[in-house]
Amino acid sequence: MSQTTELPTLTKKDLTSDQEVRWCPGCGDYAILSTVQSVVPELGGPREDLVFVSGIGCSSRFPYYMDTYGVHSIHGRAPAIASGISASRPDLKVFVMTGDGDALSIGGNHLIHALRRNVNLTIVMFNNQIYGLTKGQYSPTSELGKITKSTPAGSVDHPFNPVSVALGAEASFVARSIDNERAHLSEVLRRAAEHEGTAFVEVYQNCNIFNDGAFDAVRGNKEQQIRLEHGEPIRFGADGERGVALAGTGELTLVDVAAVGEDALLVHDAHREDPGLAFMLSRLAHTPTGPTPIGIFREVSRPVYGQALQAQIDDAIARRGPGDLAELITGRDSWEV
Amino acid sequence: MSQTTELPTLTKKDLTSDQEVRWCPGCGDYAILSTVQSVVPELGGPREDLVFVSGIGCSSRFPYYMDTYGVHSIHGRAPAIASGISASRPDLKVFVMTGDGDALSIGGNHLIHALRRNVNLTIVMFNNQIYGLTKGQYSPTSELGKITKSTPAGSVDHPFNPVSVALGAEASFVARSIDNERAHLSEVLRRAAEHEGTAFVEVYQNCNIFNDGAFDAVRGNKEQQIRLEHGEPIRFGADGERGVALAGTGELTLVDVAAVGEDALLVHDAHREDPGLAFMLSRLAHTPTGPTPIGIFREVSRPVYGQALQAQIDDAIARRGPGDLAELITGRDSWEV
Amino acid sequence: MTKTAEKVDTVTIRFAGDSGDGMQLTGTRFTSATAAIGNDLATLPDFPAEIRAPAGSLPGVSGFQLHFADHDILTPGDDPDVLVAMNPAALKANLGDLAPGATVILNADAFTSQNLKKARYAADPREDGSLEQVRVVEVPITTLTVGALEDVPDLNKKQKQRAKNMFALGLMSWMYSRPTAPTLEWLREKFASQPTVAEANIAAFEAGWNYGETTEVFDHRYEVAPAQLPSGRYRQITGNLALSYGLVAAADRAGLRLFLGGYPITPASDVLHELARHKSFGVQTFQAEDEIAGIGTALGASFAGQLGATVTSGPGIALKAETIGLAIAVELPLLVLNVQRGGPSTGLPTKTEQADLFQAVFGRNGEAPLPVIAAATPGDCFHTAIEGARLALRYRTPVIVLSDGYLANGAEPWRVPDVDDLPDLRDDAAFTTEPNGPDGEFLPFLRDEATLGRPWAVPGTPGLEHRIGGLEKAEGTGNISYDPDNHHRMTELRQAKVDRIADDIPPLEVDEGEGPGPRLLVLGWGSTYGPVAAAVRAARREGHAVAHAHLRHLNPFPANLGEVLARYDRVLVPEMNLGQLRTLLRARYLVDVQGYNRVRGLPFTTRELVEAIAAQLTDVDADR
Amino acid sequence: MTKTAEKVDTVTIRFAGDSGDGMQLTGTRFTSATAAIGNDLATLPDFPAEIRAPAGSLPGVSGFQLHFADHDILTPGDDPDVLVAMNPAALKANLGDLAPGATVILNADAFTSQNLKKARYAADPREDGSLEQVRVVEVPITTLTVGALEDVPDLNKKQKQRAKNMFALGLMSWMYSRPTAPTLEWLREKFASQPTVAEANIAAFEAGWNYGETTEVFDHRYEVAPAQLPSGRYRQITGNLALSYGLVAAADRAGLRLFLGGYPITPASDVLHELARHKSFGVQTFQAEDEIAGIGTALGASFAGQLGATVTSGPGIALKAETIGLAIAVELPLLVLNVQRGGPSTGLPTKTEQADLFQAVFGRNGEAPLPVIAAATPGDCFHTAIEGARLALRYRTPVIVLSDGYLANGAEPWRVPDVDDLPDLRDDAAFTTEPNGPDGEFLPFLRDEATLGRPWAVPGTPGLEHRIGGLEKAEGTGNISYDPDNHHRMTELRQAKVDRIADDIPPLEVDEGEGPGPRLLVLGWGSTYGPVAAAVRAARREGHAVAHAHLRHLNPFPANLGEVLARYDRVLVPEMNLGQLRTLLRARYLVDVQGYNRVRGLPFTTRELVEAIAAQLTDVDADR
Ligand SMILES: Cc1ncc(C[n+]2csc(CCOP(=O)(O)OP(=O)(O)O)c2C)c(N)n1
Ligand SMILES: Cc1ncc(C[n+]2csc(CCOP(=O)(O)OP(=O)(O)O)c2C)c(N)n1
Ligand code: SF4
Ligand code: SF4
Ligand SMILES: [Mg+2]
Ligand SMILES: [Mg+2]
């Protein structure tokens, strides 16, 4: 984002476009929109440097509601289009707003390659574990056995764990939050947006029409929420009475803090180069029915694709001077007739 | 694979097609071909039940050289095409032969979805860390800074670790081996082929034309090879004098066995439900320059897509009887004119 | 029943309301009751791409139009005789389509100042004269519904209000003398597990009916007698359902199992949904990660010996283009169904269009010919799917079958065919089981002399192991071949195989009407069948001589098409695109075909086509 | 130099050997030396899709043909005067292309019984009479090479043998009196870091030269005088290089940065490779994960204000179709380069073809028009790329630029244009920086009246924040619109924008030759330019009156094209496809255009086209 000398003066209102919001009443998307509109001004930087890119899906309508630059592209391709924007214009702040179908079904490959490359993008994936816009088919995050329009006898395919996928794809920033947990979501989104490189945020989002209550077990429920805080022992439960410890065999176990003592708990280290532990944490709740970690799993620094590309250009110009077109097309082996 | 009452009598020769092999002299693909032709007869089952499917690339020419059923499809799509074959015909034994570009670049999404679904496929990925057939561009597994035709100033994107990608994508069987380490490769391929569900095998393969010696550090070099054996403490080195241990912080460390004692070593557990440890092991050598694990990282049992699909059909027929076409198209609300 | 009933021969009604108001359901139920009476009918659902846009807004309006009659009809009707508007937005969005004198039934309760604002009405249209041309009937539908449900327990006011569509359905059912029994039975069944909800909906429905019967707002009702359709067993069917049944039937008649590899996309998803329900037919559905995998799995299944099919809409076909090319190269049977929608790009997902013909015929790299056929009516989707399978199996080729959003969701009464009358596809689907080469070897690209199709030898067949792929293949052996002359020959063979189909399909039939020989031919394809046929009828009623023909086969064309075109002074091709069939015809037959082209996301009206026909006739006369 | 030199005006030679024998390099170096002399020239590399098929096998043969002359020439020559065959397979694969009396220089050392078997020769062709029609010169090239390198240290025999292609180059350079300095200099530079290898190659080259000069095998050599080309500075250029330079030049002239999103694919990859080298021009290259991401990043870059481009071949275009549709919908400038190869599917990756024209014009869902242009010669790729950028920028549209495998790898001398003479694209590329609406708002779909292009407002511009997307947009505001009439209007506007380009391109020029007014027009497009022009010349030499024209703009066509076609009794369109341009012309102008169509993966020969022209002329005369 380009430097401004003035303090940021954007307000939520500045970011609200004049377009009627066309989500179903009660959809979790509203809360995410509102939170994004509140968080973005805090980042500083002018509105004209903001770009929101999306694919297709209910969630992908997001850019229309932001009074910024925006592209509502085609299904699954937002990470690619956004990569072109970000790589060619490192001065911009580029967001990708996407759904579980858009990002992990048709768009899975672009997603993992963006993560691998570490393009400067903030990817926010609205996971409602369903295809909303096409009226309720199961998605790659739907639980096994899911009964939907396209699986009347229950789905037979094992879902992805989006955090695991991202970590397996070399992501430098991976987090998870929940649509209506505003404070948590704000903090996660702010950190994600400030991250240099590709930040991937999974947001549990309620689709009250086709998959209502999918995350009720986790939402607001302290028993089922493991809030990850860098540098802190991993505790959860109504009063933090439970915790996560590492067995010598290399398995994570859920323990009673009183029984094992706080020192036995694993201390969360989001900045660790090795994504192994973050990955193990991601497995803790394969579906949001067991205690499920939310927060930042991983946050490490790695060269950023667009910057590295630009550095090669700067370096070439520094060494050879700016290109001379006549010289280029004439080449070294020309002759006069 | 269908049951035969006779003992398998296939020989390597039976599996060798009459097509001239068109790889460069010295290419690692030859060794893999030869090993596959030796291993497959050991699996039992008749030749006509074997199907080899590939995409595009030097490695993807593989099916032409096998005297079995085969499809040399289009770039990146082999896992999808093979999924259609396997899901619709659980009686067949279906292999996917693919390259690092085919499987992880253009075909990345089909790969991870096949792994997630656990379709009954044996996927063998020839990783030469380069695009061979298109004459030497960097691939998604090429090391950072790789100088190739398309990256004369060095690549700026971080590579995938194929084993990590597969584990992040819920793979039930993940292994790694080396083109010319015949005994090891044979064993890994045999186990992979016997696995029910999707087995993913990364094979380090030398492309002597465009990326010669990429794996020389690991190949045949005991110092740099960590051979994973299920149920065994993880040791390596010329005389097994080094080993892998787990620190309390959740990081793997390379240790001297003499200094820490064998009991301090991690015992490899490929059958563990939780892929966390396998993932940690996959991080041990990001590129094959540090000690690199080879062997089977993970081997767990999970419902197989095609079988589950068939079970739903069997169940429907058992409950409702085989479909009656006239009844179906007449429906319940018809009337006579 | 005390009020008198007026007999009318044809009626068009439109229900319009918020996306959340249940208008599609209301329309569908009215249609079922209408079908049960034995009227002929045609429907036009029209809904937004959003699931549920904000209540009361213009983009959120959802509509369902139904045309029914005591004679055979062909279209969902040009302009409604009655519009039921559940809120101001529904009124505003639909008023322009009404002819003077039409009836508008308004839900008066919804005309609050807030709703008027949401509909972007500056003033109340009931007061500013904008409804002068129509007959307005205001009914406080919401209030009456809630009132009628007073005694229903366990439901709050909001829940009660949601039954208001049933009130509207009841009222309209009374007005057009529809039978109530099927609707009541359906409600009981649908809400079997929620008896309160069933009760509420039934009460609302009956309240609507009684409102018509008792109040003085309506002084009489209407009756539409059953239509005299050819005898047989009938059912109501939409295009997507017919397409699904057609696939099941084709597999059954071929003795194969159906494998559908698909990815959801409007307006094609319902085919995936429907087929997923028919596991007892051995049907396998595979919801893939994207359209490419959808067709990839289907092609794999074809290789493995199933009837492979994939279903999508325009953007999905674009993604499948490379794999369709592979299917052409490996010469395997494959069905590629395109339920067209408005384009380009994401376009208008819930609207109809027929602008993917070029893509179907030409949208691949290299010389990549394949058969293309299109369905004419919802029920015809059934037979078109079977015809697609016949061509795919007999010629060992992918086939593109075109439907569109109008056919997909539109309904009509359909004469259920006798299963034994359906084509027997077993010979076309026969697998090769023996070597075919002179030396006892298997030659996977040795063609059948009649069809030029190649053998289909499926894995599991001993001795026929072989490899296929997308590189050019040597004639006969199928080995990779870079030989220049072989490539030319194979290119011509692939083309010849498709061209040859022209001799295996019925010649184009022309309906010349009665009276003097017409000089104008109106030629349609796909879903314009209904409007074009209706317009031709209307033009003839006005005394014009017009010939009419309809193309099912778009590639190759029927063998007699050139001769047919040459017979007329003028050929008019109405299309919901900018002239795609017209272009193909001009290129092939060098005939100066004229077009009538509108790309509005809606089927043609009879009226506009009658005018287009009249304009052509004037031109032809001027040329005389 | 003691031997006499015979002056000849034109020579065609072909180097052929194993893929590992370095024939492409040998041919390229001979070409460079030939260019340096000032001959006109044209080349035809022809290699297998495999990197290095098994040594000695037929599929492994790689060839390089060069035609050079003292006058301007247009093709790489029909049949070689001299074939250099490095092994039996090379002889076998190429012998059929030789005319009687041609010279064959054989590497005698390679004619071992093993190699003969690998080449599937039953008997030694040197002994069984199969070489009777040609003049055979046997040279033990391998032995002589190894012998010449006796004193070169640190190289084993195998390494020494690898220099044998330099021996052949030396021999041929002697034979055709090519200068040695450029080759020696190039070797020294190329192997600067490996002096032994440089030394070996130089020694082999000189040995070859001396072999010609001293042995009695050759009694004289040949000289080809420089050609009289229009004055100017010349260089040798291939189509892919020219395409790359064209893109760099276009960006430069537009004041934009070039962004290439690509994915390697034969025969287009070299454009990606070349552009990756020009970072000092600010060029960004992005090797994407696939073709879809390639165009996706390019479109993103366009939105962000770069000159976005993507390069691929046919199968890649198929994959990009959906995103091209999006680019049409959002109306952003974008260059889509297709270096065509043999199809369908994977087809013949290293061979040429022009069968992607249909795909370019029609290969997308919905009504999705865009400009399509094609390059005629390797050097013309430069100007065609700039023309593509001009149209993309001025009309805010994706443009498809067609090249093919023959242009891509073929070389010709190219007059280097003066940079100041290149079109100035800055006005066309200007970003919008101020609101354009009546109320101070920004209307991203308010069109320029002249071009119908929309404003290009790039992120970072305050006050012009806006959203674009693939759903249908309201005229002016660009807001999502499902309005039927708006959709029809937008569909027509997108078409009109492309159609309008017809008035912004030069009318088609026809070369009528001298003499009586021709009744036959031969009309070409793309890489057939050379063979067609050569055939027309030849036909005229034979006394025929033939007109010749060449289309650069395939969509829309030049405004005068219809009038041009009408002028002739007969129009012949030769194409390396089954008649794609012919179909477009017939549809548009209702002219019974004739085709000459061969799909052999190779450029046309002059001879076959002369025959095709003669056949048409006979027909025209018969019609008289
Ligand atoms: C190429 C293509 N394929 C399919 C579709 C249909 N489609 C639109 S959105 C969608 C899935 C949306 O699911 P998700 O990304 O989870 O978004 P949600 O609606 O749940 O927010 C699909 C399949 C499309 N628009 N384009
Ligand atoms: C759609 C498409 N895009 C690109 C290509 C060109 N292509 C062929 S093989 C290949 C990469 C091969 O790399 P890899 O899979 O690693 O195989 P290898 O040759 O190294 O064994 C590419 C880019 C193609 N054939 N099709
Ligand atoms: S369908 Fe679901 S995800 Fe889409 S807008 Fe409605 S509630 Fe939200
Ligand atoms: S290019 Fe490399 S991978 Fe391909 S065949 Fe040759 S050595 Fe093997
Ligand atoms: Mg979703
Ligand atoms: Mg590779």
For chain D positions 443-472, those within 8 Å of chain B (CB to CB) are: none
- Point out the residue among A116, A156, A309 whose CB comes nearest to the CB of B309: A156
User: Mean pLDDT over residues C483-510, rounded?
Assistant: 98
Closest CA to B335 of D360, C475, C251, C235: C235
Contact C304 B330 (CB under 8 A): no
Looking at chain C, the whole-number percentage of residues with pLDDT higher than 70 is 99
pLDDT at position C66 over 50? yes
Asked if C475 contacts C490 with a C-beta cutoff of 8 angstroms, the reply is yes
Atom number, ligand 1, closest to the C-alpha of residue A100: 16
Based on the domain organization, do D532 and D613 belong to the same domain? yes
Q: What is the DSSP string of D71-130?
A: S---SS-SS-SEEEESSHHHHHHHHTTPPTT-EEEEEGGG--HHHHHHTT-SS-TTTSST
Based on the domain organization, do B182 and B217 belong to the same domain? yes
Q: For the whole prediction, is pTM greater than 0.90?
A: yes
Looking at chain B, the whole-number percentage of residues with pLDDT higher than 90 is 90
Q: Is the CB of A76 under 6 A from ligand 3?
A: no
Cβ neighbours of residue C449 closer than 8 Å, sequence gap 6 or more: none
The structural domain count of chain D equals 3
- Which of C421, C438, C462 is at the close of a domain? C421
Tell me what pLDDT residue B4 has: 45
Asked if A15 contacts A37 with a C-beta cutoff of 8 angstroms, the reply is yes
- Residue A25 counted as domain residue: yes
Q: Give CA torsion, residues C578, C579, C580, C583, to 10 deg.
A: -140
First to last CA, chain C: 60
Based on the domain organization, do B81 and B194 belong to the same domain? yes
Q: What's at B46, amino acid-wise?
A: P
| A178-210: pLDDT as tens digits | 999 999 999 999 999 999 999 999 999 999 999
Asked if C603 contacts C574 with a C-beta cutoff of 8 angstroms, the reply is no
Closest CA to D161 of D227, D86, D214: D86
Which phi and psi angles does C526 have, rounded to 5°?
65, -145
Contacting residues of C for B73, CB less than 8 Å apart: 296, 326, 469-470
Q: Give the Cβ contact number of residue A303 at 10 Å.
A: 16
Give the domain CATH number at D110: 3.40.920.10
C-alpha to C-alpha distance for C398 and C403, rounded to whole angstroms: 16
- Residue A1 counted as domain residue: no
**Per-residue DSSP letter, D476:** B
Give the domain CATH number at C318: 3.40.50.970
Based on the domain organization, do A261 and A288 belong to the same domain? no
Residue stretches of chain D with pLDDT short of 50: 1
Based on the domain organization, do A241 and A129 belong to the same domain? no
Based on the domain organization, do A80 and A219 belong to the same domain? yes
Q: What is the DSSP string of A286-324?
A: SSTTS-EEEEEEEE-----HHHHHHHHHHHHHHHH-S--
Per the listing, tokens 């020696």 go with: D184
The structural domain count of chain A equals 2
Q: Give the Cβ contact number of residue B212 at 10 Å.
A: 12
A216 CB within 8 Å of a chain B CB: no
Residue nearest atom 1 in ligand 3 by C-alpha distance: A132
- Cα-based angle D288, D292, D297 (whole degrees, multiple of 5): 55
Confidence of residue A2 (pLDDT cuts 50, 70, 90): very low
| Beta-bridge mates of residue D106 | D85, D138
> To the nearest whole number, what is the mean pLDDT of chain B?
94
Neighbours of chain C (3+ CB pairs under 8 A): A, B, D
pLDDT at position A303 over 50? yes
Asked if B115 contacts B200 with a C-beta cutoff of 8 angstroms, the reply is yes
* B298's tokens: 């993970």
Based on the domain organization, do C214 and C254 belong to the same domain? no
Tell me what pLDDT residue D624 has: 62
Atom number, ligand 4, closest to the C-alpha of residue B29: 8
Which phi and psi angles does D521 have, rounded to 5°?
-110, 130
Based on the domain organization, do B247 and B286 belong to the same domain? no
pLDDT at position A158 over 80? yes
- Residue C194 counted as domain residue: yes
Based on the domain organization, do C151 and C42 belong to the same domain? yes
pLDDT at position B221 over 70? yes
Distances in Å between the alpha carbon of D52 and those of B133, D57, D92, D109? 10, 10, 18, 21
pLDDT at position A234 over 60? yes
Based on the domain organization, do C150 and C242 belong to the same domain? no
| Beta-bridge mates of residue D285 | D260
Contact D296 A322 (CB under 8 A): no
C-alpha to C-alpha distance for A230 and A297, rounded to whole angstroms: 9
Per the listing, tokens 């299917």 go with: C327
Q: Minimum-distance ligand to the CA of C469? A: 2
The parent domain of residue B109 ranges over 13-232+268-311
* C95's tokens: 């008023």
Closest CA to B23 of B73, B65, B72, B79: B65
C-alpha to C-alpha distance for B219 and B182, rounded to whole angstroms: 11
Closest CA to B140 of A117, A177, D596, A204: A117
Based on the domain organization, do A177 and A263 belong to the same domain? no
Report, in angstroms and rounded to the nearest whole number, the Rg of chain B calculated over CA atoms: 22
First to last CA, chain B: 52
Tell me what pLDDT residue D383 has: 98
Contact B118 A312 (CB under 8 A): no
Based on the domain organization, do D199 and D312 belong to the same domain? no
C-alpha to C-alpha distance for C110 and C116, rounded to whole angstroms: 9
C554 CB within 8 Å of a chain D CB: no
- Residue D428 counted as domain residue: no
For chain D positions 52-71, those within 8 Å of chain C (CB to CB) are: 59
C337 CB within 8 Å of a chain A CB: no
Based on the domain organization, do B186 and B250 belong to the same domain? no
Based on the domain organization, do D279 and D411 belong to the same domain? yes
- Residue B331 counted as domain residue: no
* A307's tokens: 């910057």
Asked if D273 contacts B149 with a C-beta cutoff of 8 angstroms, the reply is yes
- Residue D449 counted as domain residue: no
- Residue C504 counted as domain residue: no
Based on the domain organization, do C207 and C246 belong to the same domain? no
First to last CA, chain A: 52
C-alpha to C-alpha distance for A73 and A80, rounded to whole angstroms: 10
Atom number, ligand 3, closest to the C-alpha of residue A210: 2
- Cα-based angle D274, D278, D281 (whole degrees, multiple of 5): 145
- Residue C451 counted as domain residue: no
Looking at chain A, the whole-number percentage of residues with pLDDT higher than 70 is 96
Based on the domain organization, do D67 and D211 belong to the same domain? yes
C-alpha to C-alpha distance for A209 and A132, rounded to whole angstroms: 8
Based on the domain organization, do D213 and D256 belong to the same domain? no
C-alpha to C-alpha distance for B157 and B153, rounded to whole angstroms: 12
Confidence of residue C244 (pLDDT cuts 50, 70, 90): very high
Least-confidence region, from A5-19, A305-319, D212-226:
A5-19
C-alpha to C-alpha distance for C363 and C369, rounded to whole angstroms: 10
| C251-307: pLDDT as tens digits | 999 999 999 999 999 999 999 999 999 999 999 999 999 999 999 999 999 999 999
Cα B134 to ligand 2 centroid, rounded to whole Å: 6
- Residue A336 counted as domain residue: no
Based on the domain organization, do B25 and B76 belong to the same domain? yes
For chain D positions 343-382, those within 8 Å of chain B (CB to CB) are: 345-346
Atom number, ligand 2, closest to the C-alpha of residue D315: 1
Give the domain CATH number at B157: 3.40.50.970
Asked if A163 contacts A228 with a C-beta cutoff of 8 angstroms, the reply is no
- Which of D163, D196, D223 is at the close of a domain? D223
Based on the domain organization, do A46 and A62 belong to the same domain? yes
Based on the domain organization, do B111 and B249 belong to the same domain? no
Residue nearest atom 6 in ligand 4 by C-alpha distance: B24
- Cα-based angle B36, B40, B46 (whole degrees, multiple of 5): 145
Based on the domain organization, do B262 and B214 belong to the same domain? no
Q: Is the peptide bond before C556 cis (omega within 30 degrees of 0)?
A: yes
**Per-residue DSSP letter, C573:** E
pLDDT at position C353 over 60? yes
- Point out the residue among B108, B275, B303 whose CB comes nearest to the CB of A113: B108
Q: What is the DSSP string of D538-569?
A: HHHHTT--EEEEEESEEESPPTTHHHHHHTSS
Contact C51 A209 (CB under 8 A): yes
* B134's tokens: 């298109």
Residue nearest atom 1 in ligand 4 by C-alpha distance: B132
- Residue B333 counted as domain residue: no
- Cα-based angle A104, A108, A112 (whole degrees, multiple of 5): 120
Asked if D222 contacts D8 with a C-beta cutoff of 8 angstroms, the reply is yes
- Point out the residue among D269, D279, D315 whose CB comes nearest to the CB of B74: D315
- Residue C398 counted as domain residue: yes
Based on the domain organization, do D403 and D335 belong to the same domain? yes
* C369's tokens: 């010919």
Report the SS3 class of residue C45.
strand
Asked if B267 contacts B140 with a C-beta cutoff of 8 angstroms, the reply is no
Report, in angstroms and rounded to the nearest whole number, the Rg of chain A calculated over CA atoms: 22
Question: How would you class D239 by CB atoms within 10 Å of its CB: exposed for 0-12, middle for 13-18, buried for 19 or more?
Answer: buried
Asked if C23 contacts C17 with a C-beta cutoff of 8 angstroms, the reply is yes
Asked if A303 contacts D228 with a C-beta cutoff of 8 angstroms, the reply is no
Closest CA to D304 of D333, D326, D279: D333
Q: Minimum-distance ligand to the CA of A128? A: 5
Give the domain CATH number at C596: 3.40.50.920
Closest CA to A194 of A178, A177, A173, A170: A173
Tell me what pLDDT residue B3 has: 46
Based on the domain organization, do C11 and C74 belong to the same domain? yes
Tell me what pLDDT residue C55 has: 86
Report, in angstroms and rounded to the nearest whole number, the Rg of chain D calculated over CA atoms: 27
Contact A169 B159 (CB under 8 A): no
Based on the domain organization, do C59 and C194 belong to the same domain? yes
| C182-241: pLDDT as tens digits | 899 999 999 999 999 999 999 999 999 999 999 888 888 999 999 988 999 999 999 999
Tell how many helices (H) and how many strands (E) occur in chain B. 10, 12
What is the separation of C-alpha D89 from the centre of its chain, rounded to a whole number of angstroms? 27
- Residue C141 counted as domain residue: yes
Asked if D93 contacts D60 with a C-beta cutoff of 8 angstroms, the reply is no
C-alpha to C-alpha distance for D161 and D20, rounded to whole angstroms: 12
Q: Give the Cβ contact number of residue C519 at 10 Å.
A: 18
C-alpha to C-alpha distance for A311 and A332, rounded to whole angstroms: 27
- Residue B7 counted as domain residue: no
Contact C232 B335 (CB under 8 A): no
Contact B334 C468 (CB under 8 A): no
C-alpha to C-alpha distance for D206 and B37, rounded to whole angstroms: 48
- Residue A150 counted as domain residue: yes
C-alpha to C-alpha distance for C569 and C617, rounded to whole angstroms: 10
The parent domain of residue C585 ranges over 510-623
* C433's tokens: 């089981």
Contacting residues of C for A23, CB less than 8 Å apart: 50-52
Tell me what pLDDT residue C624 has: 61
Looking at chain B, the whole-number percentage of residues with pLDDT higher than 70 is 96
| A112-140: pLDDT as tens digits | 999 999 999 999 999 999 999 999 999 99
- Which of C173, C198, C223 is at the close of a domain? C223
> To the nearest whole number, what is the mean pLDDT of chain A?
94
